Structure 1
Amino acid sequence: MSDFEEEREANIARNRALLAQLDITLDIPKKPAPKEKKPKAKPVQPAKKRVKREAAEAALPTRTSTRLRRSAPDPNETPEKKRKREQEEELLRQKLEQEKLEAEERAREAKKPRHDDIEMYAHLEDQEAKEVMALTASLQVTTKTVNARRIGDMKSYQYDEERHDAAVKELKEKLGGMKIVSRAKITKERIYSAAYHPEKTKDLVFFGDKHGALGIWDARAPSEETDEDGDVTTQDDGEGGKSWRIQLHWPNSSRSSISSIKFDPIDAHSVYTSSYDGTIRTTSFVSAISTELYHDENALPTTIDLPPHGHEMWIADSNGGVTHLDLRQDKSKARWYQLSEDKIGCLSVNPVETHFLLTTSNSRVLRIWDARKLQSISVKGKGPYEINSEQLSAFQGTKDGKNVMRGEWRHGKSVTAGYWDPHGRRIVSTSYDDTIRIWDIKPEVMKKDAEFPSMRPTHQFHHNCQTGKWVTMLRAQWNPNPDVYPHFTLGNMDRSLDIRSHKGELIAKLADKGKITAVQAVTCSHPSILERAATGNASGRCVLWAPADAE
Structure 2
Amino acid sequence: MVQLSAYDKEREANIARNKALLQQLDIKQAVSDLDLPAKQTTSTKSRAKPVQPSKKRKVQHEVEEPVRRSSRRLTRSQAQVDPNETPKERKKREAEMAEREAKEAEEELQREEAARLAKRPRHNELDLEILIGDDEDAKTEIPSLRTNVFQPATSQPFPKGVGDIDAYAFPENSKKHEGAVKELQEQMEELKVVSRAKVTQDRIYSAAYHPEPTKDLVFFGDKHGQLGIWDARAPTEEAGNDEEDVGESPDLKEGGKYWRFQVHWPATSKSSISVIRFNPANSHNVYTSSYDQTIRSLSFTSGISTEVFSSEESGELPTGMDLTPDGHVMWVSDTGGAITHLDLREGPSQSRRYKVSDKKVGCVSVNPTNPHFLLTASNNKMLRIWDVRKLLKMSSDLAVKSEDEDDSASYPMDFDDDAVQTYYQSAKGKGIDRGSWKHGQSVSSAYWDPSGRRVVSTSYDDTLRLWDFNPSVFSQAKEFPSLRPIHERNHDCQTGRWLTILKAQWSPNPDVYPHFTVGNMKHSIDIFSCKGDVIARLVDPKRITAVQAVTCSHPSVVQRVASGNGSGRCVLWAPASAME
Is the TM-score greater than 0.5? Answer: yes
Q: Does 1:175 align with 2:188?
A: yes
Q: For 1:164, give the aligned amino acid.
A: H
Q: Is the 8 A contact 2:562 2:571 kept in 1?
A: yes
Matched residue SS, 2:332: strand
Q: Is the 8 A contact 1:187 1:540 kept in 2?
A: yes
Q: Does 1:326 align with 2:343?
A: yes
Counterpart residue number, 1:164: 177
Matched residue SS, 2:324: coil
Q: Structure 1 residues 86, 419: CA separation in 2 closer, same or farther (over 3 Å shift)?
A: same
Q: Does 1:122 align with 2:130?
A: yes
2:379, 2:239 → 1: CA distance?
47
* Correspondence list, 1:33-432, <5 A: 61=67, 73=80, 77-79=84-86, 88-125=96-133, 126-128=135-137, 130-137=140-147, 138-160=149-171, 161-223=174-236, 224=238, 239-297=254-312, 298-380=315-397, 382=409, 384-432=412-460
Cα deviation 1:254-298 (Å, max 9, x = unaligned) = 111111110001110001111111111111100111111111111
Q: Structure 1 residues 78, 268: CA separation in 2 closer, same or farther (over 3 Å shift)?
A: same
Query: 1:99: how far off?
Result: 2.3
Unaligned runs of 5+ in 2: 1-60, 242-248, 398-407
1:448, 1:98 → 2: CA distance?
66
Query: 1:162: how far off?
Result: 1.6
1:205, 1:117 → 2: CA distance?
24
1:353, 1:504 → 2: CA distance?
24
Within the candidate set 485, 494, 514, 2:513 is matched to: 485
1:513, 1:193 → 2: CA distance?
23
Q: Structure 1 residues 77, 379: CA separation in 2 closer, same or farther (over 3 Å shift)?
A: same
1:157, 1:341 → 2: CA distance?
37
Q: For 1:472, give the aligned amino acid.
A: T
1:373, 1:135 → 2: CA distance?
44
* Correspondence list, 1:467-482, <5 A: 467-482=495-510
Within the candidate set 476, 489, 494, 1:466 is matched to: 494
| Identity in percent | 52
Query: 1:350: how far off?
Result: 0.4
Query: 1:355: how far off?
Result: 0.7
Larger radius of gyration: 2
Q: For 1:397, give the aligned amino acid.
A: Q
TM-score computed with the length of structure 1 as normaliser: 0.84
2:371, 2:81 → 1: CA distance?
84
Counterpart residue number, 1:541: 569
Q: For 2:281, give the aligned amino acid.
A: I
1:164, 1:124 → 2: CA distance?
48
Matched residue SS, 1:302: strand
Q: Is the 8 A contact 1:364 1:414 kept in 2?
A: yes
Q: Is the 8 A contact 2:504 2:517 kept in 1?
A: yes
Query: 1:94: how far off?
Result: 4.0
1:76, 1:339 → 2: CA distance?
76
Q: Is the 8 A contact 1:534 1:543 kept in 2?
A: yes
Q: Is the 8 A contact 1:531 1:547 kept in 2?
A: yes
1:76, 1:300 → 2: CA distance?
64
Query: 1:73: how far off?
Result: 3.2
Q: Structure 1 residues 198, 454: CA separation in 2 closer, same or farther (over 3 Å shift)?
A: same
Query: 1:207: how far off?
Result: 0.8
1:266, 1:457 → 2: CA distance?
32
Q: Is the 8 A contact 1:347 1:357 kept in 2?
A: yes
Q: For 2:430, give the aligned amino acid.
A: K
Aligned-residue Cα RMSD (Å) equals 2.6
Q: Is the 8 A contact 1:181 1:239 kept in 2?
A: no
Counterpart residue number, 1:9: none
Cα deviation 1:170-197 (Å, max 9, x = unaligned) = 1111112211111111111111111000
Q: Is the 8 A contact 1:207 1:214 kept in 2?
A: yes
Cα deviation 1:322-370 (Å, max 9, x = unaligned) = 1111111132111111111110000000000111000000000000000
Q: Is the 8 A contact 1:325 1:335 kept in 2?
A: yes
Query: 1:210: how far off?
Result: 1.1
Q: Structure 1 residues 287, 436: CA separation in 2 closer, same or farther (over 3 Å shift)?
A: same
Q: Is the 8 A contact 1:174 1:531 kept in 2?
A: yes
Counterpart residue number, 1:448: 476
2:295, 2:521 → 1: CA distance?
31
Unaligned runs of 5+ in 1: 1-54, 228-234
Matched residue SS, 2:141: helix
1:241, 1:460 → 2: CA distance?
38
Query: 1:544: how far off?
Result: 0.7
2:394, 2:127 → 1: CA distance?
39
Query: 1:92: how far off?
Result: 4.2
Q: Structure 1 residues 131, 64: CA separation in 2 closer, same or farther (over 3 Å shift)?
A: farther
Q: Is the 8 A contact 2:382 2:436 kept in 1?
A: yes
TM-score computed with the length of structure 2 as normaliser: 0.80
Q: For 1:270, give the aligned amino acid.
A: N
Q: Does 1:511 align with 2:539?
A: yes
1:174, 1:307 → 2: CA distance?
31
Q: For 1:176, give the aligned amino acid.
A: E
Query: 1:512: how far off?
Result: 1.2
2:427, 2:76 → 1: CA distance?
79
Q: Is the 8 A contact 1:60 1:100 kept in 2?
A: no
Query: 1:449: how far off?
Result: 1.1
Q: For 2:152, give the aligned amino acid.
A: V
Query: 1:313: how far off?
Result: 0.7
